[in-house]
Structure 1
Amino acid sequence: MTDQKYPYLVFFATIFIYSMHRIIGFGKLERITNNTRINTILKFQKHIILYGLIGLVGLIISSLFIPFSIILWLSIPALLALVYILPIFGHKKRFRDLPFIKIFAIGVVWTWACVFIPMVYDNASLNLNQVIFIFEKLLFIISITIPFDIRDLKVDNLHKIKTIPIELGEEKSKKIALAGIFICWVLVGLNYFSGFLTWSTWLALTFSYLITASIIFLINEKSHDYYFTGLLDGTIILQMILILFFNQMF
């Protein structure tokens, strides 16, 4: 992407949205007393509020240096992110509380902000390979988000939020996530054989999806939170690291 300031905008927007999500959810979290992750969140409420303020200030400042056309493109994921966390529906429900919405909302927001907008900004129109690339990343984000619903089984059950793991169970949900990762790898192969991706990039993404699939396979509801927020979330950064590494090696 030609505008080098855009990543700062996404960074601060992410801090703001995630902090607001926690701040708005404080009241609901107080009902659960035997969850280490939630107790930690409640313990550091003031810190999270501070992070939210930092994110908001950074978001406002960085947006001043971004072309207005990009701001317009960002309005769609921004609106979706806001309704995701704000209790604007009946019975103080958020968009994320609606049945089966959570993983798809996260997938669309992340893919739109981090893949779709940079591609549209640098290209007058999208070709088939770029559309496949966007869909691959969308499916990747959705696939690694499903295990987070496995982690949140008890919380979602308490708040009567329907998710894939609640309806189908842990094992079937993992199979769906693994199937999604496999399809991602197939899409990477299509883009490689059509000449859109280099061999080193294909190899890097193959390794990253193999590692991601292994993490998903070993995950369960009782896995430590760092397994999700560290290892599983880390697979997003892992793709970039492996691509840079293999491009240097080959």
Structure 2
Amino acid sequence: MKVFRELFNFYINSSIHVALSVYALTWITLITYGIPYDENVLYFIFYASITGYNFVKYFGLAKFHHRRLANWLKWIQVFSLFCFLFMCYYALQLQAITLVYIAGFGVITFLYAIPFLPKRYFFDSKQNLRSIGGLKVYLIALVWGGVTVLLPLINNDCRIDAGVLLMVVQRFVFIVVLMLPFEIRDLQYDSIKLDTIPQKIGVKQTKVLGSILLVVYVLLELLKEAIHRTNMEVLLIITSITFIFLVFSRANQPKFYSSFWVEGIPVLWLILILVA
């Protein structure tokens, strides 16, 4: 049981679970547009997600405590190195135009973690995009939306039209809602200077906002030219599940409520589509 618990903690802490969610959303985009399984872009996004998330989460720890890193963090560093190498391999298999877009999202990820501007522009001394009040959730949603929708389509020579941009907006809205349970969970830990959504409007109003955004998400689906009945049914199921998790989220939630169950909703979404 102890070994299983340690493996599960490594699975969560090493960002494998979140990477599977990004991978799932990307595959959903391919399925939606009738594009065959694109191993190169899917595997690149999977390994890049692990590399990027671990860089953002552990950069500060590795920078200041390198000589006395905990064993679990050392293992994550080694694991992240291998993921980085796989990411580079699959990047070489992608089209040049895809790499241009990847570079843009990579810069945002880099600036999210690395100090780069004078302190006067920030609410604390970290001097990165992550520290700008109220920006975190929207920045993550923007990157997820772009990566999971634009990259697979661009790599498969699809035209970026109004329908694609609508899906990007949809994905952005969905990810913002998916982030709200995390924002509520971190309410007891986040500095008040971060100006997160629950800090600004409270937990109850955050849930109201998330519920409204889910309605907006469904309404945006109705704007599409072609609506597949099965996909719509799956979408309504996933929207309902997301709503339930949002409603029952609280500051002192169980340890893996957000980091496993909420984060795993995109994986469930993919499974339902594949089964349907």
- Match of 1:183, SS state, is helix
Residue in 2 that maps onto 1:180: 213
Aligned AA for 2:82?
A: I
Residue in 1 that maps onto 2:262: 232
Instruction: Check the 8 A contact 1:5/1:66 in 2, yes or no.
Output: yes
Alignment partner of 1:72 out of 100, 103, 114: 100
Number of residue pairs matched? 232
Aligned AA for 2:237?
A: F
Residue in 2 that maps onto 1:209: 239
Q: Displacement, 1:49?
A: 1.5
Kindly report which structure 2 residues correspond to 1:116-195, keeping only aligned pairs within 5 A, or say none: 116-157=150-191, 160-191=193-224, 194-195=225-226
1:105-136, CA deviations, whole angstroms, 9 ceiling, x for partnerless residues? Answer: 10111111111222334455333333222211
When the two chains are superposed, the root-mean-square deviation of aligned CA atoms in Å is 2.4
TM-score by length of 1: 0.84
Residue in 2 that maps onto 1:11: 46
Alignment partner of 1:26 out of 61, 68, 87: 61
Kindly report which structure 2 residues correspond to 1:54-73, keeping only aligned pairs within 5 A, or say none: 54-73=82-101
1:207-250, CA deviations, whole angstroms, 9 ceiling, x for partnerless residues? Answer: 1101111111111111123110111111111221222222xxxx
Counterparts of 2:162 and 2:90, CA distance in 1: 32
Counterparts of 2:195 and 2:232, CA distance in 1: 36
Asked which structure has the greater RCO (Cα within 8 Å, sep 6+), the reply is 2
Residue in 1 that maps onto 2:134: 100
Q: Report the identity percentage.
A: 21
Instruction: Check the 8 A contact 1:29/1:42 in 2, yes or no.
Output: no
Aligned AA for 2:230?
A: S
Moved over 6 A (4+): 27-30
Counterparts of 1:240 and 1:124, CA distance in 2: 21
